[in-house]
Structure 1
Amino acid sequence: MNFQKRLPTDVVQEHLDIFLKAPNSIYMGHIASASVLIYIAAQNNSVPVWFLWGWAVAQIVGYPILMEIWSRCCKKADRSAPDNHRWIDYMDLLCVFVGTTWGIMFFISLNEENAAHFAIQLSIAAGASSAAVRSLATFPRSFIVYSVPMLGLLVLRLLLMGGEFVLLGGLVAIFLFMLLVSGEGVMEAVSRYIAIKNENLDLADRFKKAADDADHANREKTRLLAAASHDLRQPIHAIGLYMETLPIAKMDGHSRQTLERIRNSLQTLTKLFNSLLDVSLLDAGKVKVRTSHFNLKPMLNSILDDYEPLAEIAHATLLLECDDAGVEADPVLLRRMVQNLLSNAIRYSNGGTVRLLAKGKEGDSLSIVVSDQGPGIPKEHQAVIFEEFSQLAKQKDPLADHKQDEMGQDKGLGLGLAIVRRLADLQSLTISIQSSDKGTSLAIEGLKQVAIPRKEVTQQNPMARIDALFARKHILVADDDPATLEATANLLRTWGCKVSLASGLDEIVPMTQCPDLLISDFSFEGQCTGLDIIEKARQIFEPALPAMIVSGDSSAQVQKLVENAGLLLVYKPVQPVQLRSALLEAFMSSQGEDEDAADRVKQTA
């Protein structure tokens, strides 16, 4: 052990902390050993009384007091102070004092005539020096200046006694050497422990910094998606509405084919925007699960109807196997999951059969399975397909280019199955996969079965009343984008609606006919928002005027404001079928509220 070795400044505090964790039992051991030595020395007439009393006071009173003062001052000291080496220097002085006084006691009181006392004194010397390996080896110099004077004076005394005691003195000298070597090993172990601890702390700090950077980048990505998509959604939304008002009946075959290709491309672009929006909302933790009880069969029938044209273009056959089954789930999120699975199955079906199956499992659990007859997914890739922006190469077939052209689809972004997995996690559902060269089956598992709501069992198909329902409605549309305002108005008029327009808050004025519904954008010039538009309209017309927000701003703040206002929020770009469904839902809800109010009036009468 190097006597001149000085601890590096950056690890001094760690060594001090380790020493300060030593148990208080060290004090008790020191006092007990000192008391035994005082008793033995008192039996030896060659030991002066004044030395005995002085040594007793120093070891039983002075040493514990000095150690306690050192410990308290060291704990209160500034950990980052550059002069923390002084505490080790103070410990060196204290160890010189203790080691030297103990060595003098052994030198003066060692009595070879009393074998028992002689053995006890040697045992205390060996025990005290061995115990110091654990407590003082963190401070190399302190251990040396403690053990060398104590055992060195003992070796000197044995050598002076002559005879066979010379051999014993040599053994004690060897013991001292082994202690120094052992102390150096302990010191190296402590140094390695501190180095590993500091390295782990550094890794933890770097990991935390990397996690913070990743979180910041994720927030910036979400903010960028929301900001960029807002400006892009507006024209795409207007294009979709304009297309639905074109006089298709007057077009020739080539023009219709061109229009259909434009529509398909626009639908693909809309799906990409919706996927990015879903991911940004999931990243921001803004997707809320709103469970309800509903009949699963009508939902699956509706999804199959929506995807029948896509399957026809892909030369795929859609089959549904589902009886009436009540489930408890979020219908909006579950519908999106099934749509993504079905779209993926059609894409990779290679013209085969795509089967949509709902089946019960043990207990009250139910699963929705989407299977295709495509080429299958290799086992090593089955986990990858649920990662964002991950796609597998699709096998080429002779009709691939023609199908892609007709369907207006490119490779997409690889977000469909990733969104399915994240929506499943959000609802405590599981996604399982079975695949072979004969096809792939993806299942949504863990749906809770419930009794079918009565209103859905007796509900009649409302499609027969939709046209008449739209024809009677007066709709007020508010948007500060002229193209969107005009396109929305033209589309609503083709559905038979009467339309009034407003481009700002000052254009919300009294009318001869009260609107049945208000459709408003969220963002307007100045400080005005769609909520202000709706509030003023309800003040002018009626407090319960049905209203909905159609916005290109997908930020969490807008979502929360609209949700708190109890309004339906639809994100641009909106496909005409989506807008029609949203309007129908608003009309039916309004009609239901009117009927409930009429029933209450009748019951009161």
Structure 2
Amino acid sequence: MTSPLRLDAPHLLAAGMALIDQSFGIAMLGCFLASVLLGSAVLLSGGPAHVGLWCAAMGLACAFGHLWRRRNPARVTPAGAQDYARWMTALLIVLGSLWGLAGCVYMDLESPPSVVSALALIAGMSAAALSIFSPCLPVAIGFLFPAILPVWAYVLIAGSAQYLWLWIGIPLYLLVLTVFARNYALVARRSILLRFENLELVEQLRAETLRAEEANRAKSVFLAAASHDLRQPLHALGLFIASLRRTPLDEGQTDLLTHMDGAARAAGEMLNTLLDFSRLEAGVIEANPQPFPLQPMLRKLEAEFAPQAEQKQLVFRLRDTPAICHTDPSLLELVLRNLIANAVRYTERGGLLIACRRPRAGLAVIEVWDTGIGIPASQHETIFQAFHQLGNPERDRRHGLGLGLAIVRQLVRTMDLALSLASRPGRGSVFRVAIPCHTDAPSPPWPAAATTDQPHDLHRLRVLVIDDDQTVLCAMRALLESWNCDCRTAESEAAAIDCLHDFEPAVVITDYRLRGHRTGHQALDAIRAFLQRRPPAILMTGDTAPDRLREAMAGGVRLLHKPISAEALLEAVLQLAPARPD
């Protein structure tokens, strides 16, 4: 991290000298040209020829100052600014003295035009020095006094009554220039301080931004690591429960198994919520719009949430709809699932209504009504922020993680849909999602989900499972063999290759993280190279890091996120398994 900017004297002096340095070259050129102008006027008016020597001295001093400055690259650094200021003060004293000498030697008091011309030229040079060198007051004073005081002394010594006004005017002019120089120096100092403060604020903002980015990276790493490590045992637990459900159990054991399944699914839902949020942050979710009937989706959600509502003695109502929507069905289902889960969670009495208004202007509006706690108008935007919850100061995890509505908003934006909210505190809320629909499109069939409630016979389907967790391997083998699969397991890529000598899999299921810092993609590449073909593959991962998700999805294999339910695994295997001849 960059150290804070210092506002001490060396840095302030360096900044002031840098301001002077920007105009120093043109100042030396102007000083020399003015001396040439004065010398020419003196020669043309019949003045002494040694004015040429004065012009040469002025030219040498200006050239020396310009060349020395160019040969001193550290002149405007805090370390070199002090010497630069001293050197420049000495140079300006020399230049000012030359102008003062010119006023005494070449100003003809017997010729008022000559006096006016000389005084005007010296006054102009003094004003120019004031504007250029005032950021460092000693440098400016170093020119003003040697340039003006000799002229004033010369006028006093001459004692000419016609120049009585100069006796008072010249010192008054010098006083005014000195006051202006001091004021300009103060203004320059304040400007430099303000610039340094702005730069310091920028540095602080950059440091805070870096800290925020580092915290965000640490959060992503933590979520990915914690999610992965927790998903492994939950994944195995879900597979063991699915296998156990297929064995003979008495009524009490079945009841216990149901409670175990419910607890495992609840933990899995929290991790899936984190996964959905991480996937949205990673930008790996893309909408795939297609026409589909809305009613089967609503019926599926009713079957999922109506029992939860009944447990809280809530009324769950669903209005049938013939709407044929045109958007991504899986993303829309996730949106509605979050909205309905939120409604059930924050409703203690009354009920819920899920309805779809008749399509108008090519849009159908799905509404999720509840009679819950309601949302104050001041919170209508903040509730869509991540980890924000109403009415849960104790952070009771039974009320979720506060990510549901944040996921809803990002999914709606991904699908380019419109989301609105109307609510009254204490009376309830309604969320509305406007979706493009078809009024004359045929109703495509709604795919039936695979279920493990009934026995499945996969007819000795050859499946190779690769996972470095022995517990997961045991659970996968038990479940796959209960579906009558010919299953082989391997704990590493090398062990999987050894299996291929006497076993050619029809489907490969591999974890993403394997031993020896290898990945599932690398294991699949090795298997394909050995078999000289691309067997259908399923890649399992519990990693939610955005970069990891992008990498996993780029491999062209079926991606499943742990904990994987038996239903999801069965559906994936059925879709990838080669067709059997009738």
TM-score category (smaller protein): 0.7 to 0.9
How many angstroms does 1:424 deviate by? 4.9
Aligned-partner Cα distance in 1 for 2:71–2:479: 83
1:21 match: secondary structure: helix
Instruction: Identify the residue that residue 132 of structure 1 maps to in structure 2.
Output: 129
Call closer, same or farther: CA 1:81–1:532 in 2, change over 3 Å: closer
Instruction: Identify the residue that residue 307 of structure 1 maps to in structure 2.
Output: 305
Call closer, same or farther: CA 1:218–1:55 in 2, change over 3 Å: same
Match among 457, 464, 479 for residue 471 of structure 1: 457
Amino acid at match of 2:428: G
Whether 1:548 and 2:538 are equivalent positions in the alignment is yes
Aligned-partner Cα distance in 2 for 1:25–1:452: 78
Instruction: Identify the residue that residue 381 of structure 2 maps to in structure 1.
Output: 383
Aligned-partner Cα distance in 1 for 2:375–2:547: 40
Whether 1:9 and 2:1 are equivalent positions in the alignment is no
Amino acid at match of 1:572: K
- Residues 140-197 of structure 1, C-alpha deviations (whole Å, 9 max, x = no match): 2111110011111222233333435333321221221121111111112212222222
Amino acid at match of 2:10: T
Query: For the Cα contact (< 8 Å) 2:291–2:444, is it kept in 1?
Result: no
Aligned-partner Cα distance in 1 for 2:208–2:429: 38
Call closer, same or farther: CA 1:143–1:523 in 2, change over 3 Å: closer
Instruction: Identify the residue that residue 420 of structure 1 maps to in structure 2.
Output: 408
Instruction: Identify the residue that residue 225 of structure 1 maps to in structure 2.
Output: 223
**Larger deviation: 96-105 or 497-506?**
497-506
Query: For the Cα contact (< 8 Å) 1:100–1:149, is it kept in 2?
Result: yes
- Residues 541-560 of structure 1, C-alpha deviations (whole Å, 9 max, x = no match): 78343220223344556545
**Larger deviation: 425-434 or 547-556?**
425-434
1:579 match: secondary structure: helix
- Residues 404-423 of structure 1, C-alpha deviations (whole Å, 9 max, x = no match): 9xxxx712222222333444
Query: For the Cα contact (< 8 Å) 1:518–1:546, is it kept in 2?
Result: yes
Match among 545, 553, 560 for residue 563 of structure 1: 553
Call closer, same or farther: CA 1:356–1:125 in 2, change over 3 Å: farther
2:161 match: secondary structure: coil
Query: For the Cα contact (< 8 Å) 1:508–1:536, is it kept in 2?
Result: no
Query: For the Cα contact (< 8 Å) 2:450–2:570, is it kept in 1?
Result: no
- Residues 230-265 of structure 1, C-alpha deviations (whole Å, 9 max, x = no match): 232222112222223345896666655444333222
Aligned-partner Cα distance in 2 for 1:245–1:466: 10
Counterparts of 1:429-448 in structure 2 under 5 Å? 431-437=419-425, 438-443=427-432
2:538 match: secondary structure: strand
**Larger deviation: 148-157 or 119-128?**
119-128
Query: For the Cα contact (< 8 Å) 1:103–1:151, is it kept in 2?
Result: yes
Counterparts of 1:240-389 in structure 2 under 5 Å? 240-247=238-245, 255-282=253-280, 285=282, 287-289=284-286, 291-295=288-292, 297=294, 299=297, 302-314=300-312, 315-319=314-318, 323-327=322-326, 332-350=330-348, 351-355=350-354, 357=356, 369-389=367-387
1:471 match: secondary structure: coil
How many angstroms does 1:531 deviate by? 4.2
Query: For the Cα contact (< 8 Å) 1:489–1:499, is it kept in 2?
Result: no
Instruction: Identify the residue that residue 207 of structure 1 maps to in structure 2.
Output: 205
Aligned-partner Cα distance in 1 for 2:117–2:340: 88
Call closer, same or farther: CA 1:468–1:586 in 2, change over 3 Å: farther
How many angstroms does 1:72 deviate by? 1.9
1:216 match: secondary structure: helix
Amino acid at match of 1:418: A
Query: For the Cα contact (< 8 Å) 2:293–2:446, is it kept in 1?
Result: no
Call closer, same or farther: CA 1:264–1:468 in 2, change over 3 Å: closer
Amino acid at match of 2:205: F
Call closer, same or farther: CA 1:287–1:151 in 2, change over 3 Å: same
Q: TM-score, normalised by structure 2?
A: 0.82
Amino acid at match of 2:559: L
Instruction: Identify the residue that residue 80 of structure 2 maps to in structure 1.
Output: 83
Query: For the Cα contact (< 8 Å) 1:321–1:358, is it kept in 2?
Result: no
How many angstroms does 1:393 deviate by? 0.6
How many angstroms does 1:98 deviate by? 1.3
1:336 match: secondary structure: helix
Instruction: Identify the residue that residue 54 of structure 2 maps to in structure 1.
Output: 55
2:80 match: secondary structure: coil
Amino acid at match of 1:337: V
How many angstroms does 1:377 deviate by? 0.7
Aligned-partner Cα distance in 2 for 1:356–1:213: 46
Instruction: Identify the residue that residue 118 of structure 1 maps to in structure 2.
Output: 115
Match among 484, 487, 491 for residue 500 of structure 1: 487
1:49 match: secondary structure: coil
Aligned-partner Cα distance in 1 for 2:257–2:301: 24
Whether 1:484 and 2:472 are equivalent positions in the alignment is yes
2:372 match: secondary structure: coil
Call closer, same or farther: CA 1:153–1:223 in 2, change over 3 Å: same
Call closer, same or farther: CA 1:233–1:65 in 2, change over 3 Å: same
Which ranges in structure 2 are unaligned for 5 or more consecutive residues?
1-7
**Larger deviation: 317-326 or 133-142?**
317-326
Aligned-partner Cα distance in 2 for 1:156–1:322: 105
2:71 match: secondary structure: helix
Instruction: Kindly tell me the number of residue pairs found equivalent between the two proteins.
Output: 562
Instruction: Identify the residue that residue 4 of structure 2 maps to in structure 1.
Output: none
1:582 match: secondary structure: helix
Amino acid at match of 2:431: L
Call closer, same or farther: CA 1:564–1:418 in 2, change over 3 Å: closer
Instruction: Identify the residue that residue 507 of structure 2 maps to in structure 1.
Output: 517
Instruction: Identify the residue that residue 38 of structure 1 maps to in structure 2.
Output: 39
Call closer, same or farther: CA 1:150–1:515 in 2, change over 3 Å: closer
Q: TM-score, normalised by structure 1?
A: 0.79
1:22 match: secondary structure: helix
How many angstroms does 1:480 deviate by? 4.3
Query: For the Cα contact (< 8 Å) 1:294–1:452, is it kept in 2?
Result: no
Query: For the Cα contact (< 8 Å) 1:11–1:194, is it kept in 2?
Result: yes
How many angstroms does 1:28 deviate by? 5.8
Query: For the Cα contact (< 8 Å) 1:508–1:533, is it kept in 2?
Result: no
Which ranges in structure 1 are unaligned for 5 or more consecutive residues?
1-6, 396-403, 596-605
Aligned-partner Cα distance in 2 for 1:491–1:481: 16
Aligned-partner Cα distance in 1 for 2:402–2:287: 27
Amino acid at match of 1:163: A
How many angstroms does 1:348 deviate by? 2.0
Query: For the Cα contact (< 8 Å) 1:101–1:150, is it kept in 2?
Result: yes
Match among 126, 133, 141 for residue 144 of structure 1: 141
How many angstroms does 1:68 deviate by? 2.8
Q: Alignment RMSD, CA only?
A: 4.0
Amino acid at match of 1:439: G
Query: For the Cα contact (< 8 Å) 2:223–2:545, is it kept in 1?
Result: no
Call closer, same or farther: CA 1:221–1:412 in 2, change over 3 Å: same
Aligned-partner Cα distance in 1 for 2:322–2:505: 41
Instruction: Identify the residue that residue 102 of structure 1 maps to in structure 2.
Output: 99
Instruction: Identify the residue that residue 5 of structure 2 maps to in structure 1.
Output: none
Aligned-partner Cα distance in 2 for 1:146–1:370: 82
Match among 86, 90, 93 for residue 93 of structure 1: 90
